[in-house]
Structure 1
Amino acid sequence: MHYDYIVVGAGSAGAVVANRLSADPRNKVLLLEAGPADYRWTRVPVGSARMITNPAVNWLYSSEPEATTDGRRIPVPRGRMLGGSSALNGMAFVRGQAQDFDTWAQMGNQGWSYESVLPFFKRLESYDGGGDDAFRGRDGPLRVTNPEPREPFFAAVIKAAGEVGIAHNPDYNGATQDGIAMSQATIARGRRMSTARCYLDPARKRSNLRIETGAVAEALLFEGRRCIGVRYAAGGEGREARVAREVIVSGGTINSPQLLELSGIGQPGRLQSLGIEVRHALPGVGENLRDHYAPRTKWAIGTKGITYNDTARGLGLVRQALRYALSGRGLLGSVGAPMRAFVRSRDGLAAPDLLLGWVPMLTEPGPKGPKISRQSGVTCYAHPMRPESRGHIHVVSADPGTPPAINFNFLSSAVDAELTVRAVRIARAIMTAPAMAPLQVSELAPGREQTTDEEILDWVKGAAETTYHPVGTCKMGTDEMAVVDPQLRVHGIDGLRVADASIMPTLTSGNTNAPSIMIGEKAADMVLRG
């Protein structure tokens, strides 16, 4: 089969690219997705908990054991269905700070400053939570909502944060990110707003768009230095699709470098050792991996009826289901971490550098994912937003079915360790502020006995997980370790681009789904402009 464009991966960015390219009926577009078309739990926000360990819709990757994880393998869930990770994530909508994108531009990526990407952020969203029209989009495909802090717990935390100098910010995606707020979310009328729902559903009936699910990309096809198509497996057979214009790889931070390496693009010595023919030497493929390494502090709440541990177990869960059915609210319609704070680790900083997020319950492992604990309490994760530590992702076999090796190299930068400890201490300051006293709060983890920086770091190494924000493994730039240029074209290869979170040179300040969707919008615009 021949197409004008092939998009590999129907996730947060790939679904956007496919929608925008196929909007012109003259463009024949093929969208390949390894996972299924749909899954019932993706529609209900609380379904995230049912998908976090489900291999039907989740790649279920894990990192290699490392000293800074106490030899643990860290779970790395990634969406494997239409909508990708936007179909199973926690749904928090965070653009990041202006300085994130200005930094990208200062690194040599012309056209990626905040002023340049703001129109694409506005284009993608339909936001009805007020705010300034200079910053917010009103009629884009993606519904974004801003819940009110109705629950007593959230009101108490906002007051407690104010007592330690962290002000309430009604729109952290507006003029400034500073402060504490309820989490803006890709949820509307109690339903998840994934890119499958918001970008692919409206495009499904286009005769020029073919969406093929259960299609696992195995290698890119070339004629000389030009990419001319994709080899993939579907329905138990090998297939090939050819392209007249471009292939856009949107597999995400793990699968995109994997596909490039399987296709012979990467570090020659590494590829040759696995019997992969070297097509083009690009040493940066798979390097520059970054993620948020986030310890979860845990707090017992003595006052009953405050957390979901009290209000969503037993008959309480029935009441929550009824509430959701009638209003779309409550636990079943909630964003993963309903409240977050963007704070500064010290005075004199130009912008926040730490993120704290609150989940009004404690959970424990269950047979189908996390389940609500009997212990009444609260989880608060805390971490640096722009870590300096960098790891890598590389294939370990020429077999496309073998997962790549993920090495995060967390806390290898001294500043990351310092800021992680500071984030934990700020979480403690808020949770023990006077406003929290009526809730009868007591610390469970790391525990009051962990007082020194070294003790806190030891706890972090044994307990922290990521917040599922891997980026950077096909870095955008003009230096020798860059994989794509500022137009997202793979260096040295014609007809091939990468468009997903893997192109981020650095982590954005917060969750990465919104920036990934923006990358999809901007990539499609660049492709259409030639």
Structure 2
Amino acid sequence: MKKINSDKSTEWQIDDLDLKALSGRLSRRSFIARLIQLGVSLSAAGAMATRTASAWSGRDALRDEYDYIIVGAGSAGCVMADRISATGASVLLIEAGTDQVDQPTIVDSYRWVENFGSDLDWNRSILPQMPLNDRQLYAAAGKVLGGSGSINGMLWFRGDMRDALRWQQLVGPGWKPSKLYKAFLRVENFLPGGSPYRGSTGVISVGRYASDNPITAASIAGAKKLGLPPVDHNASAFIDGAGVADVNILPNGRRSGPAQTYLVRALKRDNFTVLSDVLVTGLNLNGSSCRGVNAVVDGQARHFAASREVVLSGGAFGSPRLLMLSGIGPEDVLRAAGVTVRHRLSYVGRNLHDHMILPGIRFYAGPELSPSETYGRVASHSFFRTNSIDAAPNIQVMCMQGFFPPNPLTAGEGFNIMPWLAKVESRGSLALTSADPRVSLAIDPGYLREDVDRETLLAGLDYAISLGLTEAMAPFSIGLRSPASPFMTREEKLAFITANASPGVHYVGTCSAGRDPNYSVVNQDFRVWGIDGLRVVDASVIPEVPGVNPQGLILALAELAAETMGYAPTDHPQQSVGIDESTVT
């Protein structure tokens, strides 16, 4: 395992100090002293300390009105805060979670799994799922600045063009692949360079470290024997094949997430204010217009007006919840929860779906398996299909360099190969259970509700076992550890899936974008149907989950939303996105 390198650049150290000061864990005096130690002039250090204090702790000086109010400082919310505040508009960003973004489990990329189930995770209960033997499952989501982008495993993808074309078909020409991929280039800074189709000047730093572990090349060679060609997933229009894993991790092992990048940039502006640990209880509606939000700040009710717009970035659970608490949603759900109906919008909370993973496939270590893991801990990804060639591959298989955590076995004793249900047919929903914003949602992702999803996972299980037993993987494995035998009956395989399949924690769809207000919540411009001055920008607007880990695409969608609002940066270099949309119809 590589450890974090303490020899950081001055820029990274200044950003670290910024985050500590902004969260109240560094006094003004200490902040200025440590800035001077890094070579910052006394006048500049003083100005930075003053700006930090006004951006963060000025609760007593909060204004009653801002140009824009953003609810939710998750991945998309951080992007929106940066892009809008860069124009000089006053922006208030409100986050229900904590500001503790300097926690070691966030900063140290190797420790990301420790965030799940901790105080940094909303860890919402999911309703019993009959196809999974009613096991108790939880929906992880970041309860901290940066949202899930501060606690996730940092896997990085641009995605398959067929997913982007599908989104355009469902939503409109504003979501065409070329626009989405150009937005992605504004996000990505691919550190190794060398690819004309990778972002090189974006905000999020992306590394490729897995090539240093020999199991990576072996897993790609094994996939080739199984019929999958080598591919650079983030520089190709179509992702079918096997390739090296990319991660948004800096060369010193630190997370390069939305809070560490986009949010830090916004915090350096006097026109930007952020509040954490603040519950937004509802939207301030005047007829068919949204005029602001109602919130609880330090135990006191506050009303904040938005002179231009309110942007919801609360994620797949937070955004639909706030809409429904405000009387926007399906009439039957609102009335059952005791909420007065203000605007009927039947698709709010519908279309909830998520990837699924199958983490129980483990192999015994062979003589050449290294106990040392590179940043990200994933060696390679394979994408293949049992679905139509017109769609993105419906199966992703992730080869780990060791065991997928949590696991009682130590590094070097073996490794996991994990199938993902990448394209999901099953759908669920979420609903209010009370008009009280503190009461839990009823969350039903509908896992494996459709038989086709179970069949897809069966194919993924077979592939994962076959990959681990290929000749190329023989130096790294002496055999299958779990399940006990590669020669299972269909019934035994189904039982294994029922006992082991778990949430992919990539929830989307609950405020779907679309062309018809009867089957969506927002239009292609992210505007809520029938409500002026209100947009939703986060994973909830994705109408169909992409066939990859969606972090990079969520950030790209937020960049696209900023562009739609007229707030895309004008100084970003033009670059080819490396796709030809005419090749897919």
Q: TM-score, normalised by structure 1?
A: 0.90
CA 1:5–1:224 in 2, change beyond 3 Å: closer, same or farther? same
Task: Identify the match of residue 259 of structure 2 among 174, 192, 196.
Answer: 196
Residue 487 (str. 1) matches residue 525 (str. 2): yes
What is the root-mean-square deviation in Å for CA atoms of aligned residues?
A: 2.1
Q: 1:430 Cα deviation (Å)?
A: 0.8
Task: Identify the match of residue 452 of structure 1 among 489, 494, 513.
Answer: 489
CA–CA distance in structure 2, aligned partners of residues 43 and 89 of structure 1: 11
CA–CA distance in structure 1, aligned partners of residues 426 and 391 of structure 2: 21
CA 1:399–1:121 in 2, change beyond 3 Å: closer, same or farther? same
Cα contact 1:345–1:423 (8 A) shared by 2: no
Cα contact 1:474–1:503 (8 A) shared by 2: yes
CA–CA distance in structure 1, aligned partners of residues 316 and 127 of structure 2: 16
CA–CA distance in structure 1, aligned partners of residues 246 and 281 of structure 2: 37
Q: 1:339 Cα deviation (Å)?
A: 2.2
Task: Identify the match of residue 79 of structure 1 among 122, 142, 145.
Answer: 142
Residue 46 (str. 1) matches residue 110 (str. 2): yes
Give the aligned partner of residue 562 of structure 2.
524
Residue 253 (str. 1) matches residue 316 (str. 2): yes
Give the aligned partner of residue 536 of structure 2.
498
Q: 1:481 Cα deviation (Å)?
A: 1.9
Q: Percent same amino acid among aligned pairs?
A: 32
Instruction: Give the AA of the match of 2:185.
Output: K
Count of residue pairs brought into register by the alignment = 501
Cα contact 2:513–2:524 (8 A) shared by 1: yes
Q: Map 1:183-332 onto structure 2 (within 5 A).
A: 183-189=245-251, 190-304=253-367, 306-308=369-371, 330=373
The range that moved more, 182-191 or 166-175, is: 166-175
Q: 1:137 Cα deviation (Å)?
A: 1.6
Cα contact 1:283–1:481 (8 A) shared by 2: yes
Q: 1:177 Cα deviation (Å)?
A: 1.5
CA–CA distance in structure 2, aligned partners of residues 67 and 145 of structure 1: 40
CA–CA distance in structure 2, aligned partners of residues 122 and 148 of structure 1: 22
Give the aligned partner of residue 456 of structure 2.
419
Q: Secondary structure, in 3 states, of the residue corresponding to 2:566? A: helix
Q: 1:123 Cα deviation (Å)?
A: 1.2
CA–CA distance in structure 2, aligned partners of residues 79 and 380 of structure 1: 26
Residue 144 (str. 1) matches residue 144 (str. 2): no
CA–CA distance in structure 2, aligned partners of residues 410 and 150 of structure 1: 36
Q: Secondary structure, in 3 states, of the residue corresponding to 1:296? A: coil
Instruction: Give the AA of the match of 1:357.
Output: M
Give the aligned partner of residue 321 of structure 1.
none
CA–CA distance in structure 2, aligned partners of residues 487 and 527 of structure 1: 8
Q: 1:489 Cα deviation (Å)?
A: 0.6
Q: 1:129 Cα deviation (Å)?
A: 2.9
Residue 507 (str. 1) matches residue 545 (str. 2): yes
CA 1:440–1:197 in 2, change beyond 3 Å: closer, same or farther? closer
Residue 343 (str. 1) matches residue 401 (str. 2): no
Cα contact 1:100–1:509 (8 A) shared by 2: yes
CA–CA distance in structure 2, aligned partners of residues 459 and 477 of structure 1: 37
Cα contact 2:354–2:507 (8 A) shared by 1: yes
Q: 1:285 Cα deviation (Å)?
A: 0.6
Give CA deviations for 1:261-287 in whole Å, capped at 9, x if unaligned: 111111112211221111111110111
Q: 1:218 Cα deviation (Å)?
A: 1.3
Task: Identify the match of residue 104 of structure 1 among 152, 158, 167.
Answer: 167
Instruction: Give the AA of the match of 2:117.
Output: T
Q: 1:9 Cα deviation (Å)?
A: 0.7
Cα contact 2:92–2:272 (8 A) shared by 1: yes
CA–CA distance in structure 2, aligned partners of residues 496 and 348 of structure 1: 38
CA–CA distance in structure 2, aligned partners of residues 427 and 59 of structure 1: 31
Cα contact 1:132–1:174 (8 A) shared by 2: no
Structure 1 residue runs of 5 or longer lacking an equivalent are 312-329
Q: Map 1:96-175 onto structure 2 (within 5 A).
A: 96-130=159-193, 132-133=195-196, 135-175=197-237
Give CA deviations for 1:242-300 in whole Å, capped at 9, x if unaligned: 10111000000111111111111111122112211111111101110111111124223
Cα contact 2:162–2:391 (8 A) shared by 1: no
Give the aligned partner of residue 322 of structure 1.
none
Instruction: Give the AA of the match of 1:345.
Output: T
CA 1:424–1:399 in 2, change beyond 3 Å: closer, same or farther? same
The range that moved more, 62-71 or 501-510, is: 62-71
Q: TM-score, normalised by structure 2?
A: 0.82
Q: Secondary structure, in 3 states, of the residue corresponding to 2:136? A: coil
Q: Secondary structure, in 3 states, of the residue corresponding to 2:173? A: coil
Cα contact 1:21–1:528 (8 A) shared by 2: no
Give CA deviations for 1:446-476 in whole Å, capped at 9, x if unaligned: 3326623332122212211122111111010
Give CA deviations for 1:309-339 in whole Å, capped at 9, x if unaligned: xx5xxxxxxxxxxxxxxxxxx45xx225342
Cα contact 1:172–1:178 (8 A) shared by 2: no
Q: Secondary structure, in 3 states, of the residue corresponding to 2:242? A: strand
Task: Identify the match of residue 469 of structure 1 among 489, 493, 506.
Answer: 506
Give the aligned partner of residue 13 of structure 1.
76
CA 1:271–1:171 in 2, change beyond 3 Å: closer, same or farther? closer
CA–CA distance in structure 1, aligned partners of residues 408 and 77 of structure 2: 32
Task: Identify the match of residue 353 of structure 1 among 394, 400, 406.
Answer: 394
CA–CA distance in structure 1, aligned partners of residues 550 and 388 of structure 2: 26
CA–CA distance in structure 2, aligned partners of residues 286 and 372 of structure 1: 40
CA 1:392–1:130 in 2, change beyond 3 Å: closer, same or farther? same
Q: Secondary structure, in 3 states, of the residue corresponding to 1:388? A: coil
CA–CA distance in structure 1, aligned partners of residues 274 and 492 of structure 2: 51
CA 1:94–1:278 in 2, change beyond 3 Å: closer, same or farther? same
Instruction: Give the AA of the match of 2:268.
Output: K
Pick 1 or 2: higher relative contact order, CA cutoff 8 A, min separation 6: 1
Cα contact 2:289–2:531 (8 A) shared by 1: yes
Q: Secondary structure, in 3 states, of the residue corresponding to 1:107? A: helix
Cα contact 2:90–2:271 (8 A) shared by 1: yes
Q: 1:529 Cα deviation (Å)?
A: 6.5
Task: Identify the match of residue 384 of structure 1 among 421, 428, 448.
Answer: 421
Give the aligned partner of residue 61 of structure 2.
none
